[in-house]
């Protein structure tokens, strides 16, 4: 990280104020390690003393977190009105955390001092002064988060600036100006930051995303002179979240030319964003800038035809720089170039008239309810059929049948029979399952596993059903998407039919066919 500029992560404190996000101490340790490996300068670990988990995190961090880049910061409030900082138990918890940095939240809006703290403006300044100097004297580095700073500045400019001066004079290294309610817009916010820079301490910025401007506001603040930027992984945080730190880092490094993290660390950013999302158990938006699964996915035919000439015609950066990948999506919006590029991605040479035929087939099938964006394996099987003039096939299906039963004891069980032909044999197999699709899957595997032992590695990992509305007087139809894995890769297949079992069978048959193709068996 460049000297003189701080990247401060508050995922483990402000990020965990997000509705539905609950981190264990172990989750926090895992996330801290990921953020450290990205090269952030500070990791705010939580509020020691506010709850046992955060206190425990700081205790364990001393022995279990071997941070290579970041310093740990403990978050807490200034002392209570009327108490000495040294006697305030919450301040003691910050001291006892033994974190090298303490970040104190301080009121900087006069109305909040009077209504929320129920004290005088002078006492609030004394609370800031005493707490900062006490912790400094105890050997900790102190940052101050000036809460509601921008709203406070509008209401009482002199008082908001006095808060910054008081914190700086007492020894705070950073005063982070907080857009706590997240309602600021970049131009207005930048003007305020500009006025504060030079008041003594290093000026930082902490933005919430209630107006959808948290990242833009953070960048505007940096341009106006802030040299400390706070944010959260994947934009987590209370209400609409905080500035997405990954977007901020990408923009500062790649658009503003700042040396925020190393190139090798930036190339890990996509992996880290997804690993943090695994730890928080909050699905990462596929549209997340830089790191989302769709951030460099091209669906429109016109885009693909230009990307074929030069990917940068429809991409703002090279995805590899942030560890992401360009992907081509095939759908009813595709043209020949989309199919050509997707074919190349899958290892097939398809162009000209053949590409046009594939496009036309995809469009026709999508008009009937199929979708190939999420069913890459079904698309590959279709492509192979167009190129070879015949389906890739390892078995032919004579018939299948399934019975769903509810027994007198309430247990529901399904039983399926499949009749298939493979390698010159006619095979009849029966399977049971907790539902009809599970029973069909079991029966099909029983039928084929002896001839194709690699099938034992196939696992169905997801199953999605969608009822598509009928049009032009037709009945509604069912689309089934199955995600499968062989432990090395995942792939999707699609089936469409008038009933859910027929659609599922089709997606299942393609999942099995594709797994045999991947396993290297020769098609019949």
Ligand X SMILES: CC(=O)SCCNC(=O)CCNC(=O)[C@H](O)C(C)(C)COP(=O)(O)OP(=O)(O)OC[C@H]1O[C@@H](n2cnc3c(N)ncnc32)[C@H](O)[C@@H]1OP(=O)(O)O
In the complex, which residues of this chain contact ligand X (CB under 6 A)?
14, 47, 50-51, 77-78, 80, 105-107, 116-117, 127, 147, 180
Report, in Å, the least distance between residue 226 CB and ligand X. 18
Report, in Å, the least distance between residue 148 CB and ligand X. 8
Window 13-72: residues binding ligand PYR (CB under 6 A): 14
Report, in Å, the least distance between residue 145 CB and ligand X. 7
**Structure tokens, 341:** 């590029």
Instruction: Establish if 206 lies at the interface with ligand PYR (CB under 6 A).
Output: yes
Closer of 99 and 272 to ligand X (Cβ): 99
Report, in Å, the least distance between residue 170 CB and ligand PYR. 18
CA atoms within 13 A on the CB side of 240: 15
* Helix extents (H) in 102-244: 110-112, 121-137, 149-155, 157-170, 186-196, 214-223
- Enumerate residues 6+ apart whose C-beta is below 8 A from 44: 8, 9, 10, 11, 12, 13, 14, 73, 74, 75, 103
**Structure tokens, 479:** 């689309």
Closer of 211 and 430 to ligand X (Cβ): 211
Instruction: Establish if 217 lies at the interface with ligand PYR (CB under 6 A).
Output: no
Report, in Å, the least distance between residue 28 CB and ligand PYR. 17
d(CA 357, CA 231): 49
Classified as helix, coil or strand, 496 is strand
Closer of 95 and 327 to ligand X (Cβ): 95
Instruction: Establish if 109 lies at the interface with ligand PYR (CB under 6 A).
Output: no
Report, in Å, the least distance between residue 155 CB and ligand PYR. 16
Sign of CA dihedral 294, 243, 2, 58: negative
d(CA 362, CA 381): 12
- Enumerate residues 6+ apart whose C-beta is below 8 A from 173: 141, 142, 143, 201, 202
d(CA 429, CA 431): 7
Report, in Å, the least distance between residue 509 CB and ligand X. 53
Closer of 148 and 354 to ligand PYR (Cβ): 148
97: nearest Cα among 60, 134, 123, 131? 60
Closer of 125 and 503 to ligand X (Cβ): 125
Sign of CA dihedral 446, 450, 451, 454: positive
- Enumerate residues 6+ apart whose C-beta is below 8 A from 135: 85, 91, 94, 95, 102, 104, 142
Classified as helix, coil or strand, 492 is strand
Closer of 145 and 373 to ligand PYR (Cβ): 145
Instruction: Establish if 178 lies at the interface with ligand PYR (CB under 6 A).
Output: yes
Q: Which of 105, 221, 322, 448 binds ligand PYR (CB under 6 A)?
A: 105
Report, in Å, the least distance between residue 66 CB and ligand PYR. 27
Q: Which residues pair with 73 in a beta bridge?
A: 44, 101
Binding residue count for ligand PYR, defined by CB under 6 A? 8
Closer of 239 and 423 to ligand X (Cβ): 239
Q: Which of 90, 156, 180, 484 binds ligand PYR (CB under 6 A)?
A: 180
Window 140-159: residues binding ligand PYR (CB under 6 A): 145, 147
Closer of 94 and 440 to ligand X (Cβ): 94
The binder of 206, among ligand X, ligand PYR, none, by C-beta within 5 to 8 A per type, is ligand PYR
Report, in Å, the least distance between residue 217 CB and ligand X. 16
Report, in Å, the least distance between residue 119 CB and ligand X. 8
Instruction: Establish if 9 lies at the interface with ligand PYR (CB under 6 A).
Output: no
Report, in Å, the least distance between residue 205 CB and ligand PYR. 11
The binder of 80, among ligand PYR, ligand X, none, by C-beta within 5 to 8 A per type, is ligand X
Closer of 148 and 479 to ligand PYR (Cβ): 148
The binder of 50, among ligand PYR, ligand X, none, by C-beta within 5 to 8 A per type, is ligand X
**Structure tokens, 335:** 């043209």
Angle of helix 245-254 relative to helix 269-280, nearest 10 degrees, comes to 170
Burial of residue 349 (number of CB atoms within 10 Å: 0-12, 13-18, 19+): exposed
Burial of residue 91 (number of CB atoms within 10 Å: 0-12, 13-18, 19+): buried
> Taking CB under 6 A as the rule, which mask of x and - marks residues 252-271 in contact with ligand PYR?
--------------------
- Residues at the interface with ligand PYR (CB under 6 A): 14, 105, 145, 147, 178, 180, 206, 208
């Amino acid at each position: 990280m460049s000297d003189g500029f701080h990247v401060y992560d508050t995922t483990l404190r402000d990020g965990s104020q997000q509705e539905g996000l609950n981190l264990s101490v172990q989750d926090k340790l895992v996330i801290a390690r990921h953020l450290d490996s990205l090269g952030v300068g500070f990791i705010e670990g939580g509020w020691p003393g506010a709850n046992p988990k955060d206190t425990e995190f700081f205790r364990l961090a001393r022995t279990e977190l071997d941070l290579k880049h970041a310093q740990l910061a403990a978050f807490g409030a200034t002392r209570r009105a009327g108490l000495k900082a040294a006697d305030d138990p919450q301040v003691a918890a910050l001291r006892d955390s033994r974190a090298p940095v303490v970040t104190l939240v301080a009121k900087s809006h006069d109305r909040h001092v009077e209504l929320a703290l129920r004290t005088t403006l002078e006492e609030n300044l004394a609370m800031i002064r005493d707490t900062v100097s006490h912790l400094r004297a105890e050997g900790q580095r102190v940052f101050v988060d000036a809460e509601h700073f921008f709203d406070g500045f509008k209401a009482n400019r002199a008082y908001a600036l006095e808060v910054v001066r008081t914190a700086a004079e007492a020894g705070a290294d950073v005063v982070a100006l907080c857009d706590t309610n997240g309602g600021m817009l970049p131009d207005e916010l930048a003007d305020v930051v500009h006025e504060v820079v030079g008041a003594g301490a290093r000026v930082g910025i902490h933005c919430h995303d209630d107006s959808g401007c948290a990242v833009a506001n953070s960048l505007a603040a940096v341009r106006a002179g802030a040299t400390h930027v706070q944010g959260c992984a994947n934009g987590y945080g209370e209400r609409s979240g905080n500035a997405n730190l990954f977007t901020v880092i990408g923009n500062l490094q790649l658009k503003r030319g700042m040396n925020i993290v190393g190139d090798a660390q930036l190339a890990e950013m996509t992996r880290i964003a997804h690993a943090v999302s695994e730890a928080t158990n909050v699905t990462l938006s596929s549209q997340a800038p830089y790191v989302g699964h769709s951030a460099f996915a091209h669906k429109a035919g016109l885009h693909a035809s230009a990307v074929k000439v030069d990917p940068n015609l429809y991409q703002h950066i090279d995805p590899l720089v942030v560890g992401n990948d360009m992907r081509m999506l095939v759908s009813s919006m595709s043209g020949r170039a989309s199919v050509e590029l997707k074919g190349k991605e899958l290892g097939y040479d398809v162009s000209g008239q053949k590409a046009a035929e594939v496009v036309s087939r995809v469009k026709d099938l999508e008009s009937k309810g199929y979708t190939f964006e999420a069913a890459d394996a079904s698309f590959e099987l279709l492509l192979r059929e167009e190129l070879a003039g015949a389906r890739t096939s390892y078995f032919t299906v004579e018939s299948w049948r399934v019975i769903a039963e509810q027994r007198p004891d309430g247990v529901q069980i399904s039983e399926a029979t499949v009749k298939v032909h493979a390698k010159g044999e006619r095979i009849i197999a029966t399977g049971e399952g907790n539902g009809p699709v599970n029973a069909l899957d079991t029966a099909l595997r029983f039928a084929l596993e002896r001839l194709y032992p690699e099938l034992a590695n196939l696992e169905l990992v997801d199953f999605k059903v969608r009822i598509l509305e009928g049009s032009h007087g037709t009945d509604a139809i069912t689309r089934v998407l199955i995600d499968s894995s062989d432990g090395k890769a995942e792939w999707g297949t699609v089936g469409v039919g008038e009933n859910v079992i027929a659609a599922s069978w089709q997606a299942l048959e393609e999942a099995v066919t594709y797994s045999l193709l991947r396993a290297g068996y020769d098609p019949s």
